[in-house]
Amino acid sequence: MLSLTTVESLREAVKTWRTKGNCIALVPTMGNLHAGHVKLVEAARKKADKVVVSIFVNPTQFGAGEDYETYPRTEKEDKRKLEAAAVDGVFLPSVRQMYEPDAGTVVSVPTLSGVYCGASRRGHFDGVATVVTKLFNLVQPDSAFFGEKDFQQLAVIRALVRDLNFPVTLHGVVTVREADGLAMSSRNSYLSAQQRQVAPLLYQALCQARTTILSGASARADIERQAVLFLQEAGFQPEYFSVCRASDLKPAADTDTELVILAAAKLGTTRLIDNVCFSR
């Protein structure tokens, strides 16, 4: 596995692979890798000759007071996991490699970036869109793989690829969960032992709402309100719980058939997000 720390070394590796006719897949991450990330790599391996995983804790997608400085960084263990997963190259740039000191260009998808997570994390999805654009330009992948757990992020990137005509095929990979249903996340390590016991109730609330909708209920506002009350009683601080149209994340109408329920809530100081997608 190549360990690439500069833009120049990454481009040279990509050039070599392209010269040999290899198909390239990209898996962007912020490190602290878990089984969900490995699942992305496994999916990428099935679609490409060469797989590049980026590990970059991107400062532009963190807001003031968020956990950029304390975000878990486990480079040595991450590289061990990637080597075991037969990754061909890991890109580990510094902030200086990715951003010039006076960089001022921002990529934005405003129709999707100001709602749900974007409402409380102003500028977050601009940071995501900008760094993904840069990675696409650097790696020039044929395909890229993202987890469905961050469903809004995936929607933003899909719009980015469509609107800017990137020749990249996007693949959303199903959320990997712990045995009790909690979606795997690097931030789960912030939970106390007691909070970890409560955390799976977020997924339980999503599943209950899905069951209610599939049983024929159509009062979206009531379903959302009941879920919020359930989470509050369990000790969460709900941020949103929204039944949406999967295609564009607009509030779901009774006639919509492809749905996603998005949820975000704090448990103590840890912010958890999750979702369920389904057809009715």
Count the Cβ atoms, other than its own, within 10 Å of residue 163: 11
The residue among 35, 65, 21, 19 whose CA lies nearest residue 269 is 65
Backbone φ and ψ for 164, nearest 5 degrees, come out as: -100, 5
What are the backbone angles phi and psi of residue 273, rounded to the nearest 5°?
-125, 155
- Strand 237-245 and strand 258-267: the pairing is antiparallel
Name the strands in the sheet holding 270-279, side by side, starting at the edge strand that comes first in the sequence: 237-245, 258-267, 270-279
Q: If DSSP codes are grouped into helix, strand and coil, which group holds residue 276?
A: strand
CA distances (Å), origin 86, targets 1, 36, 50, 262: 7, 16, 9, 33
* Sign of the CA dihedral running 146, 152, 153, 156: positive
Catalytic residue among 34, 37, 124, 171: 37
- Specify the 3-state DSSP secondary structure of 49: coil
- Helix, strand, or coil (residue 256): coil
- Tokens 């993202």 appear where? 146
Q: How far apart are CA 206 and CA 209, in angstroms?
A: 5
Rounded to whole angstroms, the Cα distance separating 255 from 277 reads: 16
Contact predicate 25/52, CB 8 Å: yes
Q: Catalytic annotation on 124?
A: no
Active site residues per annotation: 37
